[in-house]
Amino acid sequence: MRLALYEPDIPQNTGTLLRLAACLGVPVDLIGPAGFDMTDRAMRRAALDYLAHVEIARHASFAAFESARRSRGSRLVLLTTHAEMPYADFAFSRDDTLLLGRESAGVPDTVHRLADARLRIPMRAGLRSLNVAVAAAMVLGEALRQTGVFAGSRIPD
């Protein structure tokens, strides 16, 4: 299981997602360009002391990310408010990559079309969306539960 962040806008959200990934042992793909400085120094500030505990792959573009993802044979699972399928109804696989769009704009239609699956979090009518880190935590938790990672009391290193 992996998390992928498409051109993130907000360093604090990226830091929260990196801490989540560190704690759960999930690698992260950072897809540029980002809306903020993604140097190691800036990322340490956002992720605090958790940065040393998360595997990060940086990609200069979506095309570079796609090439790496395809070489791993990983399904691309897009979390989007424009999906029909609720995330809890989806059968996750251990090699899935969960893609989160930009906080300000999501992902472009070309990325939507490339996704193997598009999932949404059911919400009350009239409300737009959850914070990207909250959404990732909800869906990643379900994905890890389904694939047996949460079956034990401790996540393997």
Instruction: Give me 62's structure tokens.
Output: 């979506």
pLDDT in the model for residue 74: 97
pLDDT at 157 over 80: no
pLDDT in the model for residue 48: 65
Q: What is the mean pLDDT of residues 135-144?
A: 97
Residue 68 CB contacts under 8 Å (≥ 6 apart), including other chains? 29, 57, 59
pLDDT in the model for residue 154: 57
Q: Position 1: which residue type?
A: M
Instruction: Give me 145's structure tokens.
Output: 């539960």
| Mean of per-residue pLDDT scores for the chain | 90
Give the SS3 label for residue 85.
strand
Closest CA to 78 of 57, 101, 61: 101
Alpha-carbon distance 124 to 132, whole Å? 17
pLDDT in the model for residue 147: 94
pLDDT in the model for residue 47: 62
Domains and CATH numbers, the chain: 2-151 (3.40.1280.10)
Cα distances (angstroms) measured from residue 60 to each of 1, 36, 44, 94:
21, 14, 19, 25
- pLDDT tens-place string over residues 29-67: 999 998 887 776 766 666 667 888 899 999 999 999 999
pLDDT in the model for residue 52: 85
Q: What is the mean pLDDT of residues 87-91?
A: 98
